[in-house]
Amino acid sequence: MPENPYVFKIQKYSIHDGPGIRTTLFFQGCPLSCHWCHNPESRAESLKINKEEMDKVSFALMEEIEKDLIFYDDSGGGVTISGGEPLSQPQLLFRLLDQCREKEIHTCVDTSGYGAAGILLKAAEKADLILYDIKLIDEKVHKKYTGKSVDLILENLKQLSRQKAAVRLRFPLIPRVTDTIENIGRVIVFLKENTIYRDIHILPFHKTGEGKYLSLGRKNYMKDIQPPYREKTAKVKKQFESNGFNVAIGG
């Protein structure tokens, strides 16, 4: 697998990051610092890619992506660009989206929504589907758990909606953080009042990041938190459904 400082991991046979069997590229760098982040290694600064490097890097990445074409074709899958935060590396992101479109490879961009509106809207045009995280509505709480203000994220989502971009909402179900009836209620109100989106995927918190925190020597806020019970997940699902949402569990 090609090694470069822009993409810290390539995951094949991803089946929870968009439709079908996918290859997920994890971009380096994220402006947020969510307590529950499962890719803490991604949080180093993202590097700006220069022109000379661009061809080389994108060529190698496309080569890796195209290895699994046969699986995309059979399953209706493709590529998901995730992170980190893909919007933090717009040049590489756009390049890959363009090249995939040229080759008719389905693309998803998995974003926290924390990025410049212009970049996001352009990415939405170039990609087939945006996977958009909606976590918390309360500004204070959002700041506490992610380190950044929520305003930009909500504003960006409104804009996507206005542009009628294809978006799949994803709600990370984090015990004791996002799972309160109040937060979910506010998410519902926000979405109904401001967006056209009524499909939402609940992503229950899981502990796969645990080992990474250990090896990186970072503080793991989620150490004592267990994945949500099945009943809890079902309850949240109901709350969304009774408000007219189509809900799926998992990516």
Partner 1 sequence: MNSRIESLRKKTIQKQVAVSHERAELVTSFYKTYVGMDKSIPVQRALCLKYILENKKIFIDDNELIVGERGPEPKAVPTYPEICLHSMEDLEILDNRAKVSYKVSEETKAIYKEKIIPFWKGRTIREKIFEAMEDQWIDSFNSGIFTEFQEQRSPGHTAGGELIYRKGFNDLKKNIGQCLGDINFFNDKNGLEKQEVLTSLDIAADALIVFATRHADKLEHRARGEKDFKRKAELENMASVCRRVPANKPETFHEALQYYWFLHVGIITELNPWDAYNPGRFDQNLYPFYKKDIENGTITRKDAKELLCCFWIKFHNHPAPPKVGVTAMESNTYVDFCLINLGGVTKDNQDGVNELTYLVLDVIEEMRLLQPSSMIQVSRKNPDRFIKRALKIIATGFGQPSVFNTDAIVQEMLFHGKSVEDARIAGASGCVEAGVFGKECYILTGYFNLPKILEITLNNGLDPRTKKQIGLKTGDPENLETFDDLLDAYKKQLEYFVDIKIKGNNIIEQINAKYMPVPLLSLVTQDCIKNAKDYNQGGARYNTSYIQGVGMGTITDCFSSLKYNIYDNRRVSMARLLDALGKDFKENDILLHQLGQAPKYGNDNDDADDILKIIFNAFHELVTGRPNSKGGVYRINLLPTTCHVYFGEITGALPDGRKKGVPLSEGISPVQGADRCGPTAVLKSAAKIDHLKTGGTLLNQKFLPDIFKDEKGLQSLVHLIRSYFKMDGHHVQFNVVSEKTLRDAQKNPENYQDLIVRVAGYSDYFVSLTSALQEEIILRTAHTDF
Which of partner 1, ligand SF4, none does 75 bind, CB closer than 5 to 8 A by kind? partner 1
- Shortest distance, position 9 Cβ to partner 1, whole Å: 10
Three-state SS across the chain? CCCCCCEEEEEEEECCCCCCCEEEEEECCCCCCCCCCCCHHHHCCCCCCCHHHHHHHHHHHHHHHHCCHHHHHHHCCEEEEEECCHHHCHHHHHHHHHHHHHCCCEEEEEECCCCCHHHHHHHHHHCCEEEEECCCCCHHHHHHHHCCCCHHHHHHHHHHHHCCCCEEEEEEECCCCCCCHHHHHHHHHHHHHHCCCCEEEEEECCCCCHHHHHHHCCCCCCCCCCCCCHHHHHHHHHHHHCCCCEEEECC
Residue 14 in contact with partner 1, rule: CB under 8 A: yes
**Of 12, 122, 158, 186, which lies in the binding site for partner 1, with binding defined by CB under 8 A?**
12
- Shortest distance, position 162 Cβ to ligand SF4, whole Å: 23
Output the CA angle 4-121-89, nearest 5 degrees. Answer: 15
Output 13 or 229, the one with its CB closest to partner 1.
Answer: 13
Output 163 or 215, the one with its CB closest to partner 1.
Answer: 215
For residues 93 and 27, the answer to whether their CB atoms sit within 8 Å is yes
Binding site for ligand SF4 (CB under 6 A): 30, 32-34, 37, 39, 42, 83-85, 112
Which of ligand SF4, partner 1, none does 13 bind, CB closer than 5 to 8 A by kind? partner 1
**Of 45, 55, 74, 104, which lies in the binding site for partner 1, with binding defined by CB under 8 A?**
74
Output 67 or 223, the one with its CB closest to partner 1.
Answer: 67
- Shortest distance, position 202 Cβ to ligand SF4, whole Å: 15
Which of partner 1, ligand SF4, none does 46 bind, CB closer than 5 to 8 A by kind? none
Pairing of strands 106-111, 129-133: parallel
- Shortest distance, position 100 Cβ to partner 1, whole Å: 17
Range 107-146, binding partner 1 (CB under 8 A):
none
Output 126 or 232, the one with its CB closest to partner 1.
Answer: 232
Q: How many residues bind partner 1 (CB under 8 A)?
A: 21
- Shortest distance, position 39 Cβ to ligand SF4, whole Å: 5
What residue type is 35 in one-letter code?
Answer: H
**Of 33, 75, 159, 243, which lies in the binding site for partner 1, with binding defined by CB under 8 A?**
75
Residue 21 in contact with partner 1, rule: CB under 8 A: yes
60's CB contacts (< 8 A; 6+ apart) are: 2, 4
Question: What does residue 95 show for φ and ψ, rounded to 5 degrees?
Answer: -60, -45
Using CB under 8 A, list all residues that contact partner 1: 1, 11-17, 20-21, 24, 67-68, 70-71, 73-75, 77, 249-250
